[in-house]
Amino acid sequence: MPDNEKKHDDGTGELLERVSAQLRLSLGNIYSALERLAPAETRDGDSRTDMNAAVLCQSYYRILRLTNNLAEAGRLREPAGANGKLRNDDIVGLCREVMERAEGPAKLLGLELDFVCGKSGHIIFMDPDRIELLLLNLLSNAFKYTPKGGRVALEVQVEKQRVNLIVSDTGCGIPAEIREDVFACYLRPPLLDGRPHGLGLGLPICQRIVREHSGQMLLTAGEGGRGTRVVVSLPNRRSRGQQLHALVVPSGGFNRTLVELSDALPKEAFTQKYLD
C-alpha cells in the first residue's frame, strides 16, 4: 500500500472513531431523557405511551448500532491482528443462546427460526463477544431480506479440523456478480434495493471478526439457488494454556440482540414487554 494511501486510511479510521465517540456521548443523554419521560411503569400501563416510546427506542437502538459499526469501520482496513480476548469456550452453547434470544424477534417478523447441531456442546478457542456480534449481524441480514413465512437457520458442523457456522435463509438472495462487493466495500450505496438498510458495514465487519479467528467466510446462494447461505469456518482448536470459561450472558445495559437486529425489526419489538 502506498504511503499516501496508508495515511489516508489511518486518518479515516481515526475520524470515524472520533465521530462514534461523540455520538455515544449524545446518545447517553437521549436515552436518559427517554427513561425519565416514559419510565417502564408508565409504559406498562399506557399502550399509547408505550408505542410512542418504542418508536424513539428503536431509533435510539438503530443509531447506537450505526455508531458501533462506524467505530468498527475505522479498523476495517487495518490488518486483523492477534485478539487478546480469545479463550476456550463453548461455541455450540453460544450459538444456541443467540438463537434462543432471536426467537421472539423472528416471530414478530413471521419467520421460522431453526437451530441445527448434533452436539450438546463443543469447546474451541474464540472470543465469544466477537462471535456473538458476527452471528447477530448475519441474522440481521437474513431477517431483513427474508419475507414473512420464510425460514432462517443456523447450523453448527463440527469437523476434525474446522467448526462451520452456517447461516441460511429463504430470502431474495444476493446476485453472484455482487457477492464479492459486499465484503470488499463499505460506506457503499445499497446493492440489493433502494430501502434504507444501513451503510453496508455488517458483512465487512463479519469478515474481519472471522480473520481475527484465523477463519474463512464464504457467501453463496442457498439450497436450490434460493436465498443466501453464509459459511463461517473456524479452526477447531483449543489453547492448552487457557482454562475453560463458562459461557456468561452479560446482564444489565442494553439488549444486544435488539440493538443488532434493530434495522430488521418492526417498532413493536421495542415495546416494554420485549425490553424487559
Give the residue among 165, 190, 159 at the shortest CA–CA distance from 175. 190
pLDDT in single tens digits along all 276 residues of the chain? 344 434 445 567 778 778 888 888 888 889 899 999 999 999 999 999 999 999 999 999 999 999 998 888 877 767 766 667 899 999 999 999 999 999 999 999 999 999 999 999 999 999 999 999 999 999 999 999 999 999 999 999 999 999 999 999 999 877 666 556 666 544 444 544 444 455 578 888 999 999 999 999 998 888 877 899 999 999 999 988 765 555 444 433 578 999 999 999 999 999 998 887
Reported pTM: 0.85
Contact status, residue 236 vs residue 243, Cβ threshold 8 Å: no
Q: How far apart are CA 276 and CA 161, in angstroms?
A: 41
C-alpha cell at 34: 427517554
Contact status, residue 32 vs residue 246, Cβ threshold 8 Å: no
Q: How far apart are CA 249 and CA 243, in angstroms?
A: 18
Q: How far apart are CA 253 and CA 251, in angstroms?
A: 7
CATH architecture classification, 87-256 = 2-Layer Sandwich (3.30)
